[in-house]
Amino acid sequence: MPLLDPKYPFSELSRDVIAGFYRSFDSFGFGFLEPVHKRVLAVELRHAGLKIQTEVAFELFHLGEPVGVEEQLIVEIKTGTALDPSAIAQLLNYLNVTKLPLGLVLFFGPKPKVKRIIRDDTREYPVIER
């Protein structure tokens, strides 16, 4: 049965990415640098049947006109002892310039954390953190 919730764009896709994140964390844990976790997560998501791209030049918009590639979801991977709050601002900037509705911050720290950021078109620089 599909999980569809209009409050959460791409809820099935984000569920699959988050599940892959936790499988990756269970396998590799805390302590590696971001590039290692990016590669591990990419392998995990491909094995789950997801079509993924890493380090993609994404589509930017200025004055309503496109400026790169259109995708569905931005995943930002972070590591360290604590999640830096600037990671959320960084992801929000990506969402605002790409006009994508959803992004995930996946934190490979001492305890894994997921931050789902939903872009809200009704405000100039909107953010809803879940």
Residue range 28-51, pLDDT digits in tens: 999 999 999 999 999 999 999 988
pTM: 0.77
Asked if residue 1 belongs to a domain, the reply is: no
Please determine, for residue 63, whether its predicted confidence score (pLDDT) is greater than 90.
no
The alpha carbon of 130 is separated from its chain's Cα centroid by a whole number of angstroms, namely 13
Average pLDDT, the chain: 82
Report the DSSP beta bridge partners of residue 76. 105
Mean pLDDT of 115-119: 90
Asked if residue 6 belongs to a domain, the reply is: no
Short-list 104, 112, 113, CA closest to 27: 112
Q: Which residues are within 8 A (CB) of 12 and not within 5 positions of it... i.e. 6 or more apart?
A: 2, 3, 4
Short-list 87, 70, 75, 56, CA closest to 14: 75
Asked if residue 119 belongs to a domain, the reply is: yes
| Per-residue pLDDT, 129 | 59
Please determine, for residue 125, whether its predicted confidence score (pLDDT) is greater than 60.
no
Asked if residue 3 belongs to a domain, the reply is: no
User: pLDDT over 70 for what percent of the chain?
Assistant: 75
Domain carrying residue 15: 11-129
Asked if residue 29 belongs to a domain, the reply is: yes
Least-confidence region, from 8-17, 61-70, 78-87:
61-70
Report the DSSP beta bridge partners of residue 79. 108
Asked if residue 2 belongs to a domain, the reply is: no
How far, in Å, are 19, 20, 22, 107, 108 from residue 27 at the CA level?
Answer: 13, 11, 9, 15, 12
Number of domains in the chain: 1
